[in-house]
Amino acid sequence: MDRGEVLSGKFLGLWAVLISCITSGLGLGGVMISMQISTVVWSEYYLFILASVLLGGIYLSISMMLSVVFEDSTASMTASVFSLFLFSFIWLFSVYALAELTFGWSEVVAGRPPGWYFGLHLFNPVLIWYTLLALNIPALREWAMEFGGEKPQYHPYYYDTWIMLILLIIWLAAPLIIGEYIFNRKDVH
């Protein structure tokens, strides 16, 4: 068994556990919601579950790569938690602050931000996940617009369901590939 198989096997095993937790938790939640609301759009809910499984896999993949980069488990755990904060908060608020400073948030709300604004979103798996859901779940889109979010009708042409899914898969695979590359070049103690 080579190092790539060890890394892939570990990832697939952990992701299987994560998938079972996400699907059972959200599945039970969906059943509870359907008992309260008669107009559940199951295709939207299934997309939410799929996107959440992919996002969980992305964070797991990033953590696997960081565990290869940092030989110390404390350092890799710290870097993994930092990556969560980076993509969930720091990146998001930095892009919003940059938008405010350069052209004003009112331009985003009006649907007139420059192309770089949307391009920066593609470097953040959380924003890709959110965009995928906002493109396909009207209730989420309406909720976001109520709070001054972007109007999806002004998104660039490449903001498409399939492109967002492909980008999530790339985000899932890239850290594993990088981690395997680094792992194959490291000495094992």
Q: What are phi and psi of 39, to 5 degrees?
A: -105, 50
Nearest CA-CA partner of 46 in 162, 136, 131: 136
Report pLDDT for 126: 92
**Tens of pLDDT, residues 22-57:** 999 998 988 888 888 878 788 888 999 999 999 999
Report pLDDT for 102: 86
Q: What is the pTM of this model?
A: 0.86
Report pLDDT for 156: 80
Sorted by sequence, the CB contacts under 8 Å of residue 113 that are 6+ apart come out as 99, 103, 107, 150
Report pLDDT for 152: 58
Report pLDDT for 154: 67
Q: Which two tokens stand for residue 26?
A: 């959200």
Report pLDDT for 151: 59
CA distance 111 to 117: 11
Report pLDDT for 144: 62
**Ranges under pLDDT 50 in the chain:** 148
Q: How far, in whole angstroms, is CA 50 from its chain's centroid? A: 11
Report pLDDT for 153: 59
Burial of 172 (0-12, 13-18, 19+ CB in 10 A): buried
Could you state, in order of their start, the residue ranges of all structural domains in the chain? 3-185
Report pLDDT for 4: 80
Burial of 97 (0-12, 13-18, 19+ CB in 10 A): exposed
Report pLDDT for 137: 86
Burial of 12 (0-12, 13-18, 19+ CB in 10 A): exposed
